Structure 1
Amino acid sequence: MEDVTLHHFRWRKPVENKNGEIVYKTSETQTTEISRKDVECVANFQKSQESQTEDFMTNGVGDGVKKEIRISKEVLGHIYDFLRDDSKVNYDRLLEFHKFDKVSLETVQKYHVETRNENIILMISNSSRKTLILFGGLSHETFCSHQARAVLCSSSTTSSLPLPVCAISAVFYSSTQFLLGDISGNISMWTKEKMIFENKVTDGSVTSLEMCRYGLLSGSDDGNVILWKVEESKIEKIEGIKLTVSDLSRKIRRSSTSNKPVAVVSMQVSGDEVCVATETGGLYLLNLPTLESKPLTQSATSIFKILYDHPYIAVVYHTSNSAIFNSEGLVDEIPFVATLAVRCGAYFIFSNQSRLIIWSMNTRSTVIDENLNCHSLCSLSNDTLQVLDGDFNLVSNFLNDH
């Protein structure tokens, strides 16, 4: 609210005396400016200098009596509203142009990707506008017999790399190198021409890979979350933690002493924290680089994937509607079972391959809900969503928030 200075105003009103005659008295009010300033750069610490208002009453003959009066805040408020009425109306008309809760998708690039009749496991992109697509089997038993491959593509080139087994997790290490985690428990580094190295890290599957400023994070279905230092020809373990049944919330676990591991199915880094999800519904926040863990209260519902951007966690379930949580509880629910989900800047994006929903962390609401056929999604940058559409075109869409 702004301070308003009333330098001078005067009014006259008729007064009836005892003899029935009408006389006029003049009321004159003089105010001085209120000066308000911050003494220090500390919130809620201000020094105010105020003025005293005096009323000088004079009758028609000219005799005067000095009297102290106060003008109520309500009266000043009415005067202020009257003086500011025109500008207030104009401001209200312009409010609509200052809201950023409307988002549209604007296509900025589109090109075709040659594929066969293959299942898409994962799609990721990097800031150099390169996109990696993993093809292979969606389910495995004791061994992998699929013709797995990785496709690294941009608008100008496409490279296809045959893989010995299906890779189910991936992350870019640089603009030309990427790391894969496969169902045989290996982490390997690749370029578009060849594999640089391969290290065995678990007897199970490497289900999740994430890069952070401390190194490479891996999650596997034996409950291990490990922080690695990536070198030229290998990876070296820095720190690790193993999640077991006893680490789960009491709402989920059936036993309080079981050391049976729980499979890690998804991870995402935000700042110096990583959110980890397990297959039985367990959620954890791990501090980096120590990997100290804190379980979060959740229901015993099978989790497919999570998205994390502090303080919001989006949970994609296998058979239930996706939901967004914060430390206070449920924030919103996505009205379908999502099969694809990606974080893109300040947005969580969900799809069931025929419908697309974009949820804004700024407005805590859905800003786009439209029909869109697609095979996969990934984030090209903080403001660009990449979609592999129904015709296998890679379409880059700019998130225009008007």
Structure 2
Amino acid sequence: MDDCDGPMTYIPPSCKVSVQKVDSSVLTEPRKLCDQSTTTQHCINHGVQTDHMPTVQSTITDVKISEDVINLVLTALKANIEEQNVLARLDILHRTDFVTLSVITQFQVPQKEDLPLHSAVCGPNGRTAFLFGHHYHETWCPHNGVVVFWQRRFIDRMVLSTCPTILRYGPQGLVAIGLVTGHILIALNGECLSTKEAHTLTVTSLEWLPSLRPQLVSVSLDGKIIIHSLKSTSLEEKHFRLVTISDLPRNIKRSNSSTRYTGLTSLCLVKDKLFVGNELGAIWSVTLPDLTLSLFHYEIDCIEMLAYVSNHLLIITSFGQVSDFPIHFSNIFLFSSFSLRFYSYNCMYILLS
């Protein structure tokens, strides 16, 4: 300061300042909390959907099963059991048994015409009858039929005026023979005892009835069922029934005429009933002796033959041929169009086809 040439300034010392203490406070604004965020990222989902299948809800609460459907299921189950039994017995037959044919005897029948063998009928005590004649005729029969009787070493022949159609052995050695012309012959030991014109058309079948007095039932293409009573050596008509179109089931009717007769082709006696076959395929059960008809079954083919074998009814139609067949069940065997059917007699339905 001594070296300064300028004016001098006097600065007096500061005076002593008294300090006063004052209590004071400062109030700030209240703190605010703020949440800040960025924009959220959207989640993108990708999917593939097929066509929507509509669902249908049924309004039916109760489902009723037909009795026929239940019977059909039971029938199929029973048929499977029966089939297994048949196949089991067939396997045993193939493993252990053999079927052979052996010639018993041979003989030549002297005759003017070359007649074919129509059928062979077995009788009691080893009796056998051979019918020679034509099975079918378009109009009338111009042939002389022949019946050959064979028993052990005894051979006898009987020449007829027409072709024979059916022969049945009866009581006391009697033989009933049906002819193409509708006549029925009663013969004994190869001799004709009586002849009766019972039908107007071919006698297709006849059977002896089990009774105290000999009775014979016959059927024909004229639609008649006749029960004959044998008095002495002649036949007398006792009961009669004509089978007409009205007796046929609706499915096989071929005519609107209810009074027209329908041809009967076969007859079989089963205990106290008759089974009668028809040319259109119907089979009736006939009660004795009033000859009341009730439909048993029907086929689409002509019933060629009815046979009662070991408590079973064998039925053969036009398109089936049967030479020998073992029967083991309580059913009816139907052969039709080269097919085999098992038909229940008790339940009235087909078990296996």
Q: With the length of structure 1 as denominator, give the TM-score of the two structures.
A: 0.53
Q: What are the Cα deviations for residues 157-213 of structure 1, in whole angstroms up to 9, with x where unaligned?
A: 100111111110111123532111111111111123421011111211111111121
Measure the CA separation in 2 of the matches of 1:104 and 1:172.
31
Deviation at 1:359, TM superposition (A): 2.8
Q: Is contact 1:189–1:197 with CA below 8 Å preserved after alignment?
A: yes
Q: Structure 2 residue aligned with 1:176, among 163, 173, 177? A: 173
Greater strand content: 1
Measure the CA separation in 2 of the matches of 1:152 and 1:318.
28
Within a 5 Å distance, the mapping from 1:2-401 to structure 2 comes to: 102=93, 110-115=104-109, 117-174=114-171, 176-214=173-211, 215-255=215-255, 257-308=257-308, 312-319=312-319, 337-338=320-321, 350-351=322-323, 357-362=324-329
Q: What are the Cα deviations for residues 268-299 of structure 1, in whole angstroms up to 9, with x where unaligned?
A: 10100111001111110001222111012323
Measure the CA separation in 2 of the matches of 1:242 and 1:310.
30
Measure the CA separation in 2 of the matches of 1:109 and 1:298.
39
**What's the secondary structure of 1:358's corresponding residue?**
coil
One-letter amino acid of the counterpart of residue 244, structure 1: T
Judged with a 3 Å threshold, the aligned counterparts in structure 2 of structure 1 residues 195 and 315 are, in CA distance, closer, same or farther, namely same
Q: What are the Cα deviations for residues 131-165 of structure 1, in whole angstroms up to 9, with x where unaligned?
A: 11111123323322213111001121100111111
Residue segments in structure 2 that go unaligned for 5+ positions in a row: 1-88, 334-353
Q: Is contact 1:270–1:309 with CA below 8 Å preserved after alignment?
A: no
Measure the CA separation in 1 of the matches of 2:174 and 2:255.
43
Q: Is contact 2:242–2:261 with CA below 8 Å preserved after alignment?
A: yes
Greater helix content: 2
Judged with a 3 Å threshold, the aligned counterparts in structure 2 of structure 1 residues 176 and 104 are, in CA distance, closer, same or farther, namely farther
Judged with a 3 Å threshold, the aligned counterparts in structure 2 of structure 1 residues 209 and 359 are, in CA distance, closer, same or farther, namely same
Deviation at 1:217, TM superposition (A): 0.7
Deviation at 1:309, TM superposition (A): 5.7
**What's the secondary structure of 1:276's corresponding residue?**
strand
Measure the CA separation in 2 of the matches of 1:210 and 1:293.
18
Deviation at 1:363, TM superposition (A): 7.9
Deviation at 1:312, TM superposition (A): 4.4
Measure the CA separation in 2 of the matches of 1:142 and 1:257.
24
Q: Is contact 2:312–2:330 with CA below 8 Å preserved after alignment?
A: no
**What's the secondary structure of 1:128's corresponding residue?**
helix
Q: Computing the radius of gyration over CA atoms, which structure comes out larger, 1 or 2?
A: 2
Residue segments in structure 1 that go unaligned for 5+ positions in a row: 1-98, 320-336, 339-349, 352-356, 367-402
Measure the CA separation in 2 of the matches of 1:311 and 1:250.
30
Identity %: 20
One-letter amino acid of the counterpart of residue 299, structure 1: E
How many residue pairs get matched?
235
Higher RCO (CA 8 Å, separation ≥ 6 residues): 1
Aligned to 2:51: none
Measure the CA separation in 2 of the matches of 1:156 and 1:310.
29
Measure the CA separation in 2 of the matches of 1:208 and 1:277.
10
